[in-house]
A and B are shown apart, each in its own frame.
Chain A
Amino acid sequence: MDLTFTPAQEALRAEVREWLAANAPAAPLPSMDTAEGFARHRAWERRLAEARLSVLSWPAEYGGRAAGLVEWLIFEEEYWAAGAPGRVSQNGIFLLAPTLLHYGTPEQKARFLPKMATAEEVWAQAWSEPEAGSDLASLRATATPDGDGWRLNGQKTWSSRAVFADWGFGLFRSDPESQRHHGLTYYLFPLDAPGLTVRPIAQLDGETGFAEIFFDDVYVPAAQVLGGVGEGWNVAMATTSSERGLTLRSPGRFMAVADRLLALARASDDQTLQDAAIRAWLDADAYRLHTWAAVARLEEGVELGPASSLMKVFWSELDLRLHELALALRGPDAALADRWMDGFLFALAGPIYAGTNEIQRNIIAERVLGLPR
C-alpha cells in the first residue's frame, strides 16, 4: 500500500491547480439550465479543452491525455476544490464516451469524440419513458428499418439538458416481437432532426433542467447505431455501470462540499451539528478511500460489477446529508436561494436518478449478497 503520489502526479496536480486559479470563473456561472448559462458553460468547456483538461483519461487523438484513473481523480479533486463550474458535457464525456470508446466503430469515435471533448456538441441521455422509469426494460419507443437506416417513434422523458443540447443517445425497441431487454438497439441522434420535438420541463427550482423528447418518424442512418442491432441492453448497461461506478461522481466533488461544511461547523457552537458534520466529512473521505481501493482493483483487472450499486447508494445519501447539515448550520439563512440551497435541491435528486436507491438496494441484495429474487 502506498498512499503517496508520484512526482508526475504531483506535477499534474500543480498544473491543474494553477490553471484553475488563473482561469476558473470568479463568480458562479448562471444556471446551465438557462439559455445564457448553458452557453457560458459550453464556452467554459471549450477553454478546458484548449488546456487539454476536459477529458483527461481519453486517448490523445480525441482530445485527452490518456491519463490513468489516479490522475483523473487528482484532476477532479482540484477541479471541485477550486469551485469550478458544473460540467455541462457530463452525460457525454462520462456516460456515453466510455461506451463509445468500447463499442464504437473507428468512424463513430472520430466523428463524435473530438466534438464532445470541446462541447461543440453536448449530449443528452434518453432512457426513461413515461411508462418506463425504474422498469426501463419495459420501454416502448420503437425503431423500424427504413432503407439503410431506421425510423424512430415514441416518447422519452426526463432527459437532462436536452432543452439546449445537440445530440441524444438512448434505447429503442428495434424488434417489435421482442420482450423486455431483448430486441433493443442503442441509437445516437441529433436533437434537431426532422420529426423530433423537445418539450422543456421545468424542475422544482423552476429551471428547465430536463425535457420530454417526441419522435415522429425520425430518420437515423445505420452509422448512428452504437454496438450491434438488438444488443442495446448490454451496450447500455456498460454506460449505467460506469455511471453508478466511478466516473459520474468522483470523490473530489463530495470532498469539496465536505470541506465547506467543516468551515460552517467551525463557525458554529452547536456541538451536535458539529459532530454530525464531522461524521459526514469522514464519510466523504471514506468514499475517496473506497474509490482508491476500487481503482487498485480495476488496475488488477477486477470489474466493479454490481458492487457499483453500493457506491451509488453511498454517494447519493452522503451528498444529501452534507447539504442537509449545511442548511441546519446556516440557521435562518437556510431560507436563502444560494449555492447551498442549489446544491441541496440537486442532491435531493441523487437517490432518484441513475437508478433509484431502492433499485440499487435490490441489486445489492440479489447480486452482491445473493439473496433470492
Chain B
Amino acid sequence: MRFAFTRDQRMLAQTVAETLAKACPPALVRAARTDPSVRRGDAWTALADLGLLGAAVPEHRGGLGLTPLDTVLAWVEIGRACVPGPLVETAVAAPLLLPEGSPWLERIAVGEAAASVRCAENPYLLDADIADVLLLPEEATASPVEAPSSDGTRRLFTVAGETAPGGAAADHAAVAVAAQLLGLGEHLLESAVAYAGQRRQFGKAIGSFQAIKHLLADTAVKLTFATPVVHRAAYSLTYPGGHTARDVSAAKVAAAEAAHHAARTALQVHGAIGYTDELDLHLWLSRVFALVPAWGDPGLHRARLRAVLLDAPR
C-alpha cells in the first residue's frame, strides 16, 4: 500500500506546468475565442513537444506509452492553465478508439493531427472545425453542424444519427477531464485567495472577514477530498481490477462538484469585477461549466454508480 506518485510522475507534471506557464498565458486562452488557429497554436505545440499528445500512443507507434497514472498529474496542470483545444479527444480518447495499425497514431504522437470524438457519453464533437479526424463509433449520416457552445474557447458540433458507447476511451477521457477540473478548481481557489488578500473594504483586506474565509475553506475541503478520488481512478484504469466503472464515475462526480464549488466561490469573492469579461477569471469559470457535462454528465455517472453500487450487494 503506497498511495503516492513516483518522482517521474511528479516531474512530468512539473514540466508541463512550467511549460504551460510560458506557452499558455491567459491571453492565449482568451484569443482562442476568436482565432481558430489558437486551439492548435503555441500551447498545443508545447504539449506535443513534451510528448504529451502521444503519451497514450504505444512506443512502437512513436508515442510514450504512458499509463493514466503516469499522466493524471499532468492533466491537472493542463486544467490549471485552461489550455484550449481537443486535447483529451486527441491524446486520450483517439489512441484507444483508433485501430492498432492506424497511421493516425504516429501523426497524433507528434502533434500533427487533432481528433474530435463523439460517443454516447460525449455527444458533442469538440473543435471538429480544426480536427483532422472525426471519430464516431457509428457512421455519421451527415456532416457536422455547429451548436452554440457556452465556453467560447470550445466549439461544439453535432452530427445526425445514433451513437454508441465509447467504452474504455470514454472512461480514460472522463478521468483526464476530472483531473482538469481539479486543476481548474485549484486555480480558481488560488486566484480567489490572492484577491481576498489584496482587495480592501471597510479598511481591511476582505480575506480577513470570516464569511470569506469559510467560503474558501469549504472549497479547499472539497478539492482536497476530490483529489485522491481522481488519483485512484487513474490507478484503476492502469491496473483494472473490477471497480473501474465505479472509480471513474466517482472521480468525475467528485471533481465536477469540487470545481463547481470553486467556481461559485471564486466569483463571489471577486464581486462584480469577477462578473466582467475584462478579468480572466470567467475563462476558468466557463471551462468548469463546460467540462462538468463533458465525457459523462453528472446524471450519466450517477446512473452508473447506482448500477454498480446498488444492484449487487458488495
Residues of A within 8 A of B (CB): 1-6, 9, 70, 259, 262-263, 265-266, 271, 274-275, 278-279, 281-283, 285-287, 289-290, 292-293, 295-297, 300, 307, 310, 313-314, 358, 360-362, 364-366, 368-373
Rounded to whole angstroms, the CA-CA distance of A96 and B9 in the bound complex is 39
Q: Find A5's partner among B1, B205, B212 (CB 8 Å cutoff).
A: B1
B305 adjacent to A282 (CB under 8 Å): yes
Rounded to whole angstroms, the CA-CA distance of A289 and B3 in the bound complex is 8
Q: Find B196's partner among A70, A307, A360, A371 (CB 8 Å cutoff).
A: A371
Rounded to whole angstroms, the CA-CA distance of A369 and B216 in the bound complex is 8
B5 adjacent to A1 (CB under 8 Å): yes
- Could you list some 23 contacts between A and B, CB below 8 A? A1-B4, A1-B5, A3-B235, A274-B310, A278-B309, A282-B254, A282-B305, A285-B250, A286-B225, A286-B226, A286-B228, A289-B3, A289-B228, A290-B224, A296-B3, A307-B224, A310-B224, A361-B218, A364-B217, A365-B216, A369-B217, A371-B213, A372-B197
Given contacts A3-B235, A371-B212, 9 further A-B contacts (CB under 8 A): A259-B314, A278-B302, A281-B309, A289-B228, A290-B224, A292-B3, A362-B214, A365-B214, A371-B197
B1 adjacent to A293 (CB under 8 Å): no
Q: Find B225's partner among A275, A283, A365, A372 (CB 8 Å cutoff).
A: A283
Contact bitstring B203-216, A, C-beta under 8 A = 1, else 0? 01101101011101
Contact bitstring B233-269, A, C-beta under 8 A = 1, else 0? 0010001000000000010011000000000000000
Chain B residues near A373 (CB-CB < 8 A) = 208
Q: Which of under 10, 10 to 19, 20 to 34, or 35 or more describes the interface residues of B?
A: 35 or more
B231 interface residue per 8 A CB criterion: yes
Q: Find B217's partner among A70, A271, A274, A361 (CB 8 Å cutoff).
A: A361
Interface centre among A5, A313, A358 (most CB of B within 10 A): A313
Residues of B within 8 A of A (CB): 1-6, 69, 189, 193, 196-197, 204-205, 207-208, 210, 212-214, 216-218, 220-221, 224-229, 231-232, 235, 239, 250, 253-254, 302, 305-306, 309-310, 313-314
- Given A281-B309, A371-B193, A314:B217 Cβ within 8 A: no
A358 adjacent to B214 (CB under 8 Å): yes
Q: Binding site of A, secondary structure by majority: helix, strand, loop or mixed?
A: helix
Closest A residue by C-beta to B257:
A279
B305 adjacent to A371 (CB under 8 Å): no
A282 adjacent to B306 (CB under 8 Å): no
Closest B residue by C-beta to A266:
B310
6 tightest A-B contacts by CB? A365-B213, A289-B228, A292-B3, A296-B4, A364-B217, A361-B217
B225 adjacent to A287 (CB under 8 Å): yes
A274 to chain B, nearest CB (A): 6
